[in-house]
Amino acid sequence: MATDLIREYEAAKKTLDEAHKAAESLVNTLGRTYSRLSHGGWRQAIVAGTAGLSVPPLIGESTPYGGAVEPADLPTIAELGAALAAWHQAVQRTKLTWQQVPEEDRYGLQGPPSR
């Protein structure tokens, strides 16, 4: 019985780890884009596939662009929302399965995140 509960917990923890990596990847992508555009960086950046690509270089500069933002590389709000929802659900499942594992059988297991 306890072995099944431990397996269930370990499966929940693995799902949580995967959800964490997926959400963090999307957030990091947004963070890199934010960093590129913040503090005036947007003045030198373009969004690929838009009319901004037709801007000619400024005199004395090889290119006026601080870099291109690739829309295809950015998550949609729906993708971000789904990733965050999956993470929250995985946290809850991990906590619930942890509570079902008897305390004496928790030795050696990493507990669920506090948040």
Q: What is the mean pLDDT of residues 22-47?
A: 89
| pLDDT reading at 66 higher than 90 | no
What's residue 22's pLDDT?
98
Please state which CATH number belongs to domain 2-37+72-105.
1.10.287
Q: What is the mean pLDDT of residues 59-80?
A: 76
| pLDDT reading at 12 higher than 80 | yes
Q: How is the chain split into domains, by residue range?
A: 2-37+72-105
Contacts of 65 (CB under 8 A, 6+ apart): 44, 45, 46
What's residue 54's pLDDT?
52
What's residue 86's pLDDT?
98
